[in-house]
Amino acid sequence: MSNLRIIKDRTASGAMRTVTIVALAFVLVMGWGLYRKSAPILSEIPLWDLLTDSTWQPFKNKFGFFPFVMGTIWVTVIAVIIALPLSLFTAVFLTEYSRRFVRKIVYPALDILASLPSVIYGVWGTLVVVPWISDKLAPYFVSFSTGYTTLAAGIVLSIMILPLLVSLFVELFTSVSNELRDSSYALGATRWQTAQSVVLRKSLPGVFASVVLAISRALGETIAVLMVCGNLPAVPHSVFDSCYPIPALIANNYGEMLSLPMYESALMFAALLLFVVVLVFNLASRLVLRKIEQK
Amino acid sequence: MRKFILRKFFANDNNEAFVPDAKFKHPDVAPELTVDHFNLSIEGSPILKDVSVTIPANKITCIIGPSGCGKSTLLKSLNRLSDTIEGVKTTGDIRIGDTSIANCSMSDLVELRRRIGLVPQRPTPLPMSIYGNIAYGCKIHGVSSRRELRKIVRHYLKVVGLWDEVKDRLTSPATKLSIGQQQRLCLARSLAVEPEFILADEATSALDPVSSKIVEDLFVKLKEQYSIVMVTHTLRQALRIADYVIFIYMGEVIEVGDAQQVFKNPKNELTQKYLSGAIS
């Protein structure tokens, strides 16, 4: 009887360990697979040229990834610049100012927003954001814009990461103990002073980690961005230029024109690039986070 | 760089007499706290019932009573931290001198809270340096001169006897201090905005006996300049330091009076029972 229990326990432990290892192995296998597939282009064109060249003419065997790298950076940066203050203020309002019944309404709404399929954001962007930019906003700054711009992609992306950021921040802020808040109030601090000097300061490492998480999400977001960014392989010089982030490049072209072997390899290199960037980004942020927490 | 500047400043310690910022000057006559027919309920269930007491100036007043009787809630009502409890309703009034606390506007409240300091049950160092913790209160009330702030920090750290222990690491995080030191830091932080009253909610219950004794002695020393209200679970502590005692049972004030009288000749039967340990 007791033998059976021990056998069960050992089997379970073995099975669970295997599953964990398999899950981890996937990351390595994917990375390795992407590397293998992109080896042809890497052996033909040096890595540095691939990253810094801006001509993208697959049929002439010219693969410059600079426009795509810049497109990705622009879109992500715009999204974070818009979403970060909005989500911080929303979370501070919800945790420090609002009454319970407001929170009861807002929290579920945020969860719904966070779980909407991204194609819906894409459609919304095409129907609302793109015309708004081309008709209302762009005429103030440039002579002509289709609306399918870096800015549109940034706005749509910011709306997508907003609920994620807000719910992460709310969780962080509610974990700050009320005794700490009370100590600040008892000195005569207002709610805003308390939020700034106590709540935000206390959760700074967490805020940093949340932003990293949101950026990772934004870097990889494909479909909604692809629908509004304009998909033009050129380096954007202003927010009213079209752009072409890496995920959109892969999604738009993979499966077509694979008769060109170098083209396929180039797309795989794009995937590898994304993979490495997200990986390095996450690891680096972990290191920085540890430094902040030690302070 | 900042660390260096701080150290340099504090190095020329010239022992000049400390004068608190003019903003924080105490009134000439120390005020009393008056609780006037005060009721408090949380989501319909009454916690405090028709409480009327006067808390004397420059004395240590102990609020005693069994757990859950409303001692802490009464204490929180004195600086309206009770506002932060969801679903709270109050009637009646609480006044410091002639100024109403229970019915004042939010803008008056921040000033009133400055006049009534709080030492929490467990020490709550704010997420900043030792220096920052003490300067925080003064900064939010508009003291911006660095020179002034440094004087204040040094003075109050000396008052609570922390100065010699921490003077070389003022810029290190306050959370690195021991629990006993943290609690004295919290006391210094409250004192830095020159309150007239100090509320202490079982301020020594989380401390080791030695630290607890230090804080207790501080309270006795401080009552010359401040009026102290403390909630305590330990009757022996109340016996040692209380000048005035409020006994609460089930949200009602049962007996109020001089410590000597309440402890030696309690008038009410419930007080006698509580003091003899029959109810707790």
Nearest C-alpha of chain B: how many angstroms from A195?
Answer: 12
Which tokens is A53 given? 């060249």
Same domain, A10 and A134: no
Cα A232 to Cα A21: distance, rounded to the nearest angstrom: 41
Q: Nearest Cα to A186, choosing from B61, B78, B25, B95? A: B78
Q: Quick one: which H or E segment has residue A261?
A: helix A261-294
Residue of A nearest to B191 (CA): A187
Higher pLDDT, B3 or A230: A230
CB B153 within 8 A of CB B129: no
CATH number, domain of A211, equals: 1.10.3720.10
pLDDT higher than threshold 60 for residue A263? yes
Go through A198-222 and write b for each residue having 16 or more CB atoms within 10 A of its CB, e for each that does not: bbbebbebbbebbbbbbbbbbbbbb
pLDDT band at residue A16 using 50, 70 and 90 as cut-offs: very high
Residue B188 is assigned to a structural domain of this protein? yes
Is the minimum CB–CB distance between A197 and chain B shorter than 8 Å?
yes
Name the A residues in 61-120 with CB < 8 Å from any B CB: 99-100
Are B63 and B74 contacting, i.e. CB atoms less than 8 angstroms apart?
A: yes
Bridge partners (DSSP) listed for residue B116 = B197
Q: Do A62 and A15 fall into the same domain? A: no
The answer to whether the beta carbons of residues B184 and B161 sit under 8 Å apart is yes
pLDDT for the residue numbered A14: 95
For residue B238, what are its two tokens?
Answer: 């109340």
Q: Which of these, B60, B26, B7, lies nearest to B168 by C-alpha position?
A: B7
User: Is B236 a domain residue?
Assistant: yes
Domain of A223, in residue numbers: 52-294
Are the beta carbons of A179 and A172 closer than 8 angstroms? no
Phi, psi at residue A177, to the nearest 5°? -70, 145
Q: Are B173 and B203 in contact (CB under 8 A)?
A: no
Cα(B142)–Cα(B131) distance, rounded to whole angstroms? Answer: 17
How many separate domains does chain B show?
A: 1
Asked whether residue A239 carries a pLDDT value surpassing 70, the answer given is yes
- Is the CB of B113 less than 8 angstroms away from the CB of A99? no
CATH of the domain at B79: 3.40.50.300
Domain range for residue B194?
2-12+21-275
Sheet containing strand B116-119, edge to edge, reads: B116-119, B197-201, B227-231, B60-64, B244-249, B252-258
Residue count of chain B, please give it.
280
Shortest Cα distance from B273 to chain A (angstroms)? 33
Digitized pLDDT (tens) for each residue of chain B, 280 residues in all: 555 555 555 555 555 567 777 677 777 778 888 999 999 999 889 999 999 999 999 999 999 988 888 888 999 999 898 888 888 899 999 988 888 888 888 888 888 899 999 998 889 999 999 999 999 999 998 888 888 889 889 999 998 888 998 889 899 999 999 998 999 999 999 999 889 999 998 888 888 888 888 888 999 988 888 999 999 888 888 888 999 999 999 889 999 999 888 888 888 888 888 888 877 6
The position carrying tokens 């701080």 is: B6
Q: Which of B116, B124, B140 sits opposite A183 (nearest CB)?
A: B124
Answer yes or no: do A22 and A77 share one domain: no
Question: What total of structural domains would you count in chain A?
Answer: 2
User: Hey, are the CB atoms on B140 and A189 less than 8 Å from each other?
Assistant: yes
In a domain, residue B280? The reply is: no
Q: What ipTM was predicted for this assembly?
A: 0.87
Query: Where do runs of H (alpha helix) occur along A230-260?
Result: 246-253
pLDDT digit string, tens, across residues A73-107: 999 999 999 999 999 999 999 999 998 889 999 99
- Do residues B199 and B79 lie in contact, with contact meaning Cβ atoms separated by under 8 Å? yes
The answer to whether A179 contacts chain B (CB < 8 Å) is: yes
CA gap A71, A205 in Å, rounded: 28
Both structure tokens of B239: 């016996």
Question: Which of A62, A73, A113 has the alpha carbon at shortest distance from A229?
Answer: A73
Residues A145 and A166 in one domain: yes
Q: What's the pLDDT at B62?
A: 93
Average pLDDT estimate for A117-140:
92
Is the CB of residue A180 less than 8 Å away from at least one CB of chain B?
A: yes
Asked if residue A188 lies in contact with residue B140, where contact means CB atoms within 8 angstroms, the answer is: yes
A30 and A118 both lie in a single domain: no
* Same domain (yes/no): A185, A273: yes
| Cβ-based burial of A156 (10 A; exposed 0-12, middle 13-18, buried ≥19) | buried
Question: Given pLDDT bands bounded at 50, 70 and 90, which one contains residue A44?
Answer: confident
Is there a single domain that holds both residue A36 and residue A117?
no
Is B161 near chain A, with CB under 8 Å? no
Residues A188-201: tens digit of each pLDDT: 899 999 999 999 99
Q: Please check whether residues A22 and A60 belong to one and the same domain.
A: no
Same domain (yes/no): A179, A264: yes
pLDDT at B87: 86
Asked, for residue B175, whether it belongs to a domain, the answer is: yes
How far A168 CA lies from chain B's nearest CA (Å)?
Answer: 20
